[in-house]
Amino acid sequence: MDRKRSTYRYAMSGGTANSYYINDDRKKQKHNRKIILRVLVGLAVVGMVVSYVSFRLLGEKGRSGIGKITRIGATITQNISPFGDRVLFYDGTSIHCVSATGTNEWSYQIGANADYDCAEDKIVAWSGNELYIINKNGRLIYNNKMSDSIQFASAGKAYAAAFIGTASTGVVTVIDGDGRVVDNISVESQTLLDIGFFEATAASSTQTTEYMWMLSLDTNGTVISTLLQTFQPGRLSTGKTSMGEYIAYKIFDNNGILNIVTTREIRHYTYRAVEGDKSTLIYGYTVQDIMKSGNTVYQLLVPSSEQGSGLTISNVRLMYGNTDRMIHLPGNCMSALLGTRCIYGFSRNAIYVCRFDETSFTVYPVDMEITNVIGMISDNRAIVAEGTYINIIELPS
């Protein structure tokens, strides 16, 4: 006998009301289960679509999103500098070294009205006529009261140098990693603009040597011109040349060749200050950032018309090797910087990311308001300001 059919007939032929309503409830429950199942399936499909869209917008090609944001104990006015995988800042009395996790690793007191410069693993600081050289662990390498006020100083890999005297007359003192003075270079009849260090291999050697460059304005002639001089510390001058009326605003090393950036072009010089045959024309662009990975030097430029305060940058130009490519940003940025594999553009509430071998940016929203960009430390972390506070942001790579 068909039990389902029997139950139905029993209910319809005057049986108890309970038999009919129980069977009807079961049918309703079954119908409701079907509706619930359809709703759940629909929600699952919607969730999959949302997840896919989010993945495409915020993390396409397997990239992770914005990582941890760490606030450190510094403020925007405290002379902040990237230092390898750490951050340096000067609070008016001491230099502090802070890790990417916000931990204070060491502090060194250098007094009031001080300034400093840092390289890969060395800091040179000065206050009045007192000079300090400190290694990456906060240990003092050199400290001395110099003969006159220190105008500025520069840290290199093996050496540090300080310009002592007045703006147009003085001496550049060069000190090695053991705290020994190896050179005192006289500066006369010129206005010294900057000093720095670079590595190159001499023609008679297979070993890489650290050289020093000096850039100044020659005021002897009727027309002011820019003067480039190169030195091998401990052996004095290796070259000298006039660059004419062009003013340089950035100098960087590209595999032993000194690249000097002017408003019109990038000029290339050997360690003997001999210029190469061909310069790189960049008229209308400003070099924003430089990053070296292996033997490749990446150069990030922005249009000079877009260089300024506020959200003004809408395009960037990336140059490396034989590549010279313009890339449009999804929105206006206040700054653009280079990581190990990517270009990063910074707007107020988002960071735009484009890998070096790609031609478009991915947008990553940030749960904070970025008001200033200080620089990059290693492992693709950016130092940014949120009002007066300083944060370290882990970026996608």
Taking only the tens place, the pLDDT of each residue in 310-330 is 889 999 999 999 999 999 999
pLDDT at res. 380: 96
Average pLDDT, the chain: 86
List Cβ neighbours of 222 (8 Å cut-off, separation of 6 or more).
none
- For 6, the 3-state DSSP assignment is helix
Given pLDDT bands bounded at 50, 70 and 90, which one contains residue 189? confident
Model confidence at 395: pLDDT above 70: yes
Q: Which of 35-44, 92-101, 160-169, 354-363 has the lowest mean pLDDT?
A: 35-44
pLDDT at res. 338: 98
Break the chain into its structural domains and give their ranges. Answer: 3-58, 64-77+285-397
State the Cα–Cα distance between residues 115 and 113, nearest whole angstrom.
7
Question: Which DSSP string corresponds to 170-181?
Answer: EEEEEEETTS-E
List Cβ neighbours of 305 (8 Å cut-off, separation of 6 or more).
284
Given pLDDT bands bounded at 50, 70 and 90, which one contains residue 223? confident
State the Cα–Cα distance between residues 140 and 116, nearest whole angstrom.
14
Model confidence at 369: pLDDT above 70: yes
More confident residue, 167 or 237: 237
Average pLDDT over residues 110-126: 96
